[in-house]
Structure 1
């Protein structure tokens, strides 16, 4: 039996449809300009989920692709990074999501990830976002991936990205007041001489060993978010960006990652990949996608009305 999305008509994987309630979707998107690490982040995340042997530390943990395209995407990215090569830049199009079930994270419910990546050109202008990145409208948490080291004027460029997103969401009929913004500082290995010492220490210890003791992991994420916000406000000077983000989103949090562990040389990796803190944006998206009792109550009454 073939299942199809009622909105776009695309075929939906049978496993996704049949087990939708047990594994509700989390839209994991990447919003950001070209060369800010969006495609590499997803590649490193897929690599880390499969290669860091989390199942040996977390009882019941596993991940599973839900269709053939997703299976190919995950393993092709793994092979590229293992061979010391980077994935190609993502073309400007409306992508099919890579669909990945994540089960058994100790401090999060199990979900199906819908991972969307499209070209950075799609976030240069609102009409491009509307045409090629309409998936953001469905997200409860939106990831802004920004490489501060690649920005000449971080406040101006971050605000332009935010302004473009807000206009695009308005045209799509979305409401950012129902979304949580996660600002992800990428390529942090290139910022170690500029970041606060405790942030650098957090980044350095961000391999799988940092996930074994997971009892207070989300508490630590909130604490680090506060530290990063202070840095972005006082050192980067992104006051207008922060003020506008606070005014338009349900919440604003911050994360820091190094997808590769070291800067590449062109399209090659000079050393073996060591992803650092690449799970943090995922955990933020999962955390912010939890249904509250108000969400459940609203859904109950909406169901009665229909």
Structure 2
């Protein structure tokens, strides 16, 4: 009897499963930090308390200046959690999500400690999986980004039980007005980013309906090749690449000297939109990746990198029945829809074909990629489906395989599975 009572009243050791937390990568300045290092924007201001009075946020304005944005005169104060007693800190799981100030006013507006931009609500609770889009000048980054986001929002997300959502209303408005409407509704080709123009990153989240899956953040950080001279700006771009979980590396076939003249000759009097001779892809690998890759173990990066040959519709000019470059029955010209998983047969076909094509027309580039990257695959996309003439897209825009590199990155990062049909 005594033993029974003892077992009833004896304190049982309850095992509490500790929820994980993750370092945060800011999707604006790409700095990496612990979730306890976030700062907060106060939810109110007081004229009778200097610490909570409206004030200039120098770090935020320094960031805005880098992109040519006007400074913000006054904002609510920034609260550092180190100044807040532990009992006034609010956690969700093990992640610091809010603080209560000395007036018992709660704020959950978390900011990056380096640039004071707002952080995604999921930051710290899930890995900061950032996908970056990079490439040389005139490679078509803006057009590809527009076509990719448009496709992800209207087709791909639905095929993978997900949604593709802008990080905030400002990004949503900017994308619609400056990119999606001009291209998809007006048929007007987007201009290359001027070397003097600096634009804040476009940030979208690919959020799965299955709650256990973390969201994926897609960051488009547009950098004009000729404008990459400012040291601070270059440092920001290097951090962007270094802290990415996946990279979409865009290559324009017209910037490969071996095939450029042949293409122009084949396209005849109306070649459409043909870019000028710019950095060759190999030079871009060295200049954009060499700085941070050189310091890694074995001087290689393990970041999954999709090499994306853009403007694949131009390759129609090179196709031949038994062609040296592209055959008439090439996978390049067939659009493919992946639903629920990566179709490995389709992926392996396009990866093998484009690798062989690039190896033939630009061996130094493929060799440079193999030297610096451990985890690469090759793809071909057409953001528009045809080649614009006089800055206008004729007919209906029909993107070809535009989301396939992104879906491969989902597969490599463990979000979806791959299957052989």
**TM class by shorter-chain length?**
0.7 to 0.9
| Aligned counterpart for 2:302 among listed residues 162, 174, 178 | 178
- Show structure 1 runs of 5+ residues with no match: 292-306
1:217 to 2:343 alignment: yes
Asked if 2 retains the 8 angstrom alpha-carbon contact of 1:95 and 1:116, the reply is: no
Q: Which has the higher helix share?
A: 1
Question: Which of 204, 227, 232 is matched with 1:100 structurally?
Answer: 204
Greater shift in the superposed pair: 83-92 or 252-261: 83-92
Q: What's the counterpart of residue 304 of structure 1?
A: none
Q: Deviations over 1:208-255 (max 9, x none)?
A: xx3266655144213321221112113x1x223222321221222101
Map of 1:34 onto structure 2: 137
Q: For the Cα contact (< 8 Å) 1:143–1:181, is it kept in 2?
A: yes
Structure 1 268/117 Cα, relative in aligned 2: closer, same or farther at 3 Å? farther
Find the counterpart in structure 2 of residue 11 from structure 1: 118
Counterpart residue number, 1:45: 148
Distance 1:142 1:123, change over 3 A: farther
Taking a change above 3 Å as real, the CA distance of residues 232 and 270 of structure 1, as seen in their structure-2 partners, is same
2-structure distance, mates of 1:279, 1:104: 16
One of 157, 166, 188 as aligned partner of 1:85: 188
- Among candidates 143, 152, 156, match of residue 248 of structure 2: 143
Q: 1:5 to 1:124 in 2, by over 3 A?
A: closer
TM-score w.r.t. the length of structure 2 is: 0.57
d(CA) in 2 for partners of 1:267, 1:128: 33
- Relative to structure 1, is the Cα distance of residues 187 and 110 closer, same or farther in structure 2, using a 3 angstrom cutoff? farther
The runs of 5 or more residues in structure 2 that have no matched partner are 1-107, 261-278, 319-324, 416-421
Matched, 1:232 2:358: yes
Q: Which moved more, 1:155-164 or 1:172-181?
A: 172-181
SS in 1 for 2:123: helix
User: Could you state the TM-score of these two structures normalised by the residue count of structure 1?
Assistant: 0.76
Larger gyration radius, structure 1 or structure 2:
2
Counterpart mapping for 1:90-129 below 5 A: 90-92=193-195, 95-104=199-208, 111-121=215-225
SS of equivalent to 1:115: strand
For the structure 1 residues 59 and 8, does the alpha-carbon distance in structure 2 shift closer, same or farther, using more than 3 Å as the test? closer
- 8 Å contact from structure 2 (residues 307, 376) kept in 1: yes
Match status 1:166 vs 2:289: yes
Contact 2:147 2:383 in 1 (8 A): yes
Give the corresponding residue for 1:296. Answer: none
Structure-2 change in CA distance of 1:88 and 1:181 (3 Å): same
The 8 Å contact of residues 69 and 98 in structure 1, kept in 2 or not, is answered as: no
Give 2:35's aligned residue: none
How many residues end up aligned between the 2 structures? 277
RMSD: 3.4
Distance in 2 separating the partners of 1:59 and 1:290: 13
Separation of aligned partners in 2, 1:90 and 1:97: 13
Separation of aligned partners in 1, 2:140 and 2:217: 19
- CA deviation profile, 1:251-288 (whole Å, cap 9, x unmatched): 22101000011111233212221111110121133233
